[in-house]
Structure 1
């Protein structure tokens, strides 16, 4: 195993807690789930939600948000290469087009394609926590939260801090992050800059990713607060095997801009928030890296949005209302010049009754200029068995608007279909959760019936390779049923020299039943997880060394199963000067997650961090 430890690039990484503080990964009941209207403590939520806290973000053997999410139960992450330079995220059997990604509640939907969902301009070290909602999210977040939603949450610290991190490793990996906090009176602000690069783990898989992220907040008084965000991500990479195996010299360059302004008002029982944001994605794709004249696609997509959300607590519970308007545009050498507009209305109410019961119901109404008004209701019911144990059930109607690629993209291998209808699904969930100081457990059964499922199909052929073209259509109905289990325990066994801090284990099973015409080939419908097992432990040695070990068994319906084992060692993680080392795929497994990309065997990286807080 070749390990190239390159410490050529320094970065400053902001720690959002004082240097010597840390939080237990199991005390989830302390959290309030950050939805856009209602705020509900984690232990009173009647949904299956996984929360990745700051400690887990720092100690998990992962160098990107994509890699971090791959250790989350029920989440299917399909990476193309190391460090997640591009990855597809699915939840509960849903495709990468059926997951909604948010940053502090702001939607990062890309109207061109879900392949750009993870073009997020935030370094991993800037994130305070990640909330993963599994199941329908349309009633809460609107369109495209079809199978689930992932909300990345950052925080503005009130103290000055600076953290430096640099790393290097196999495949010529090098990079680092600079994240600093400099509050001035009531004005809080953070700035982060990051760089990640690699020579690639196989032919034409090199990449460079640069991110800049600025966030600020100003408290005018106890009631009014203003916030702003600006982010930029520049990623360029060799795309061997990303979309086809016929052209190993594929290449892509993507620039993503994000800016947002918001105002929030709090006055006892009333909460109001208004915000506007803009997201631009510029994508250049070449079939031959050094011959742009052979075949090049250029796409520029823009999303403009305004939102107003509010909640009012009164004697009959808490009511939430919201309105959003979105304009999506694209200018493309292949897709043409397109635009579409949406209006969304939210209404929901939550009430507690009979001491141990609570209920929540609501509806999301969406106006799409192509189809008019549609309405998507949902409801939840919870029963608090005792202080620690809770039963819950919920149902909801979710939907997804086709991407511009599905509607209009055409090439020698694919037809377009401008007459596609939105996907719709009915979802049901029944679960039990246990939240104690040292133990968390959850068992969930879910059911999703999808109509108008968008899938690419083609007629079979006796010729190899098949010369027929793929075509998207609302051709299928599919039913997903699944069981999700997760257990997390903090034994705190041992003494000062050796201590076992945490154990976790999860198992997820999905069964899918597809209904479609006989004799056609399907590209997407039955390509989800079937079995997923994730296990891990964290131990500490001489109060300075932390060891995290994670193992994953993944079996998908259309790919060979595989097992991955990863480990990370941290020294002085919370002190002024610390070091870390990671080894990925210790078992040297041979596997493919997405496209035709052969994932790397065993590989390692190491680095340092400098924390400065005043």
Structure 2
């Protein structure tokens, strides 16, 4: 009923406006966007995959205060937050769990050997992001292991002109925060530095948080062929974790510090492109079961990832050939997991060729060596066919792969036991889709299929006692088949007059079927917690040529969990001007819901703020 009501609401709102809307100066023609995949860059209109691009304009106008909240409006992406404003969230794609999604910043992999719970500890303020590329489906051939069900690449840019952006806000639950982003190029040396801080007293007991980010990026153009880039980020987040991992201890508390640094060199001349880079990521995690009694139960983990990679491509009359090699060491020092390390080597090869003016084929393989598991090989292929200038058909196939985290292998406490004998997960993936892009309309229809072997899940025997006294144990106990459809529609309406103009309409629906095969008589923790039905709808209108209204709604139904409906709204005044104001209201319908763990998410809450843009 709520779905029908929402559709009627949007339809009535649309039909009540007569209009025309000017092109926003920050809007992006996706046909001009090149999807960054480290070796072969492909224009958005030519890629034979289901890829969503969140543009800078989307980021600025979405009612959201974090990357996680922005992604929650992306079709096919399942964002399960513990708290708000990016405190902690798990990201799933196409029914995959949070361990099966790879996060990247400018192509740099944010792997965390401890647990996928820390993958969203991203040290980049929202205001520094130019766009976000969301690849749905297997990414192992492109990005390596752990891009099991998809990958999300966060793209930043280095402006060539000086600028200063300042933003501040406040709101319910004692929320306050702000950011400063400054671009200070000096000749051929480009650089940006940004800082942000968000804090709140919390919407319920022991849900307060503080999140701070510092991000620096620089680039030096040595000559027309060679460029050097450097990047450094730091994130500090401390929060009350009531209900994050158990509902028995309401005083849980966690503190995380994440460091990220990289140095890269790019050679780009004529038909040859080569990029070499080294990077390091450290995550420090302190978790207390009782906030003010660290002696009762405390886990301390320090994980490090050091990597070196070389990627390149060469364009010839036979197409584009991409090659790459990478090496990485992952280590952890933990009072619970012990002192451990593992090494890995990966090699990539792929080729893309165009057959005539309508057909293109891309195929490749990723070969992986891990110190524990030896060599594994993951092939994949894509084919696209242009029916005409507006319609494109495509299909692809790929093998995906994920190694277990140290938490799955070695973590133990009163409720969980470990399993050091886990095997990697593997999946076979197929996809077929249709894209339409003409004038003001962009649409996509996709069917996907994924068969997962050796799925890692926590299970335990059932018990007549309540609560169940048996421990959870991870194991390769399940086989799961996921298949579903994904639809998306974007329409640039341009209806209205100088007072009220409807600018954009968007709608998406995603459905996932999951078939689980596992031993009888066990209770599963994660295998069937994925999305079943997801509706996302949005409108954007301009008011009196100075204000923008963005209204977005979501209906989410997960397997074995209660469905819920959310609506968020944002109004921007003078967003593109020197001084602007904005107001946001989240959960306008005051819905009671839980996304992850045992965390009751907040009801209706409002924020308001200002922005200053100097160029």
> In which range does the TM-score fall when normalised by the shorter chain?
over 0.9
Match of residue 600 from structure 2: 598
1:180 and 2:200 correspond = no
Match of residue 85 from structure 1: 87
Whole-Å Cα distance in 1 between the matches of residues 544 and 271 of structure 2?
A: 48
Whole-Å Cα distance in 1 between the matches of residues 283 and 84 of structure 2?
A: 22
Q: 2:554 aligns with which of 552, 555, 570?
A: 552
Match of residue 126 from structure 2: 124
Match of residue 368 from structure 2: 366
SS at match of 2:416: coil
Whole-Å Cα distance in 2 between the matches of residues 371 and 409 of structure 1?
A: 20
1:90-110: per-residue Cα shift (whole Å, max 9, x none)?
A: 000000000000000000111
Deviation at 1:26, TM superposition (A): 6.8
1:209-252: per-residue Cα shift (whole Å, max 9, x none)?
A: 01000000000011000000000000000000000001000000
Give the 5 Å matches for 1:427-446.
427-446=429-448
SS at match of 1:83: coil
Deviation at 1:446, TM superposition (A): 0.1
Whole-Å Cα distance in 2 between the matches of residues 361 and 27 of structure 1?
A: 27
Distance 1:451 1:134, change over 3 A: same
SS at match of 1:56: helix
Match of residue 585 from structure 1: 587
Distance 1:534 1:266, change over 3 A: same
Q: 2:327 aligns with which of 325, 328, 336?
A: 325
Deviation at 1:21, TM superposition (A): 9.5
1:505 and 2:479 correspond = no
Q: 1:249 aligns with which of 248, 251, 258?
A: 251
Normalising by structure 2, report the TM-score: 0.96
Point out where structure 1 has 5 or more consecutive residues left out of the alignment: 1-19
Deviation at 1:437, TM superposition (A): 3.2
Match of residue 529 from structure 1: 531
1:477 and 2:479 correspond = yes
Deviation at 1:355, TM superposition (A): 2.1
Point out where structure 2 has 5 or more consecutive residues left out of the alignment: 1-21
RMSD: 1.0
Whole-Å Cα distance in 2 between the matches of residues 26 and 191 of structure 1?
A: 24
Deviation at 1:559, TM superposition (A): 1.1
SS at match of 2:173: helix
1:224 and 2:249 correspond = no
SS at match of 1:492: strand
1:65 and 2:62 correspond = no
On the 8 A contact 1:26/1:490 being kept in 2, the answer is: no
1:300-334: per-residue Cα shift (whole Å, max 9, x none)?
A: 00000000000000010000000000000000000
1:244-273: per-residue Cα shift (whole Å, max 9, x none)?
A: 001000000000000000000011110000
Whole-Å Cα distance in 2 between the matches of residues 59 and 567 of structure 1?
A: 10
On the 8 A contact 1:26/1:438 being kept in 2, the answer is: no
1:192 and 2:172 correspond = no
On the 8 A contact 1:27/1:437 being kept in 2, the answer is: no
Whole-Å Cα distance in 1 between the matches of residues 455 and 82 of structure 2?
A: 25
Q: Work out the number of aligned pairs and report it.
A: 594
**More deviation, 430-439/339-348:** 430-439
Whole-Å Cα distance in 1 between the matches of residues 464 and 551 of structure 2?
A: 47
Deviation at 1:436, TM superposition (A): 2.1
Deviation at 1:498, TM superposition (A): 1.3
Match of residue 426 from structure 2: 424
Whole-Å Cα distance in 2 between the matches of residues 294 and 483 of structure 1?
A: 48
Match of residue 145 from structure 1: 147
Match of residue 454 from structure 1: 456
Deviation at 1:524, TM superposition (A): 0.5
SS at match of 1:386: coil
1:189-222: per-residue Cα shift (whole Å, max 9, x none)?
A: 0000100000000000000001000000000011
Match of residue 42 from structure 2: 40
On the 8 A contact 1:23/1:55 being kept in 2, the answer is: no
Whole-Å Cα distance in 2 between the matches of residues 365 and 147 of structure 1?
A: 18
Deviation at 1:27, TM superposition (A): 2.6
SS at match of 2:601: coil
Whole-Å Cα distance in 1 between the matches of residues 140 and 560 of structure 2?
A: 28
Whole-Å Cα distance in 2 between the matches of residues 325 and 109 of structure 1?
A: 13
Whole-Å Cα distance in 1 between the matches of residues 162 and 596 of structure 2?
A: 42
On the 8 A contact 2:28/2:55 being kept in 1, the answer is: no
Whole-Å Cα distance in 2 between the matches of residues 236 and 350 of structure 1?
A: 46
Match of residue 168 from structure 2: 166
Whole-Å Cα distance in 2 between the matches of residues 605 and 498 of structure 1?
A: 24
On the 8 A contact 1:138/1:145 being kept in 2, the answer is: yes
Deviation at 1:594, TM superposition (A): 0.1
On the 8 A contact 1:510/1:530 being kept in 2, the answer is: yes
Q: 2:396 aligns with which of 390, 394, 397?
A: 394
Match of residue 571 from structure 1: 573
On the 8 A contact 1:434/1:442 being kept in 2, the answer is: yes
1:235 and 2:237 correspond = yes
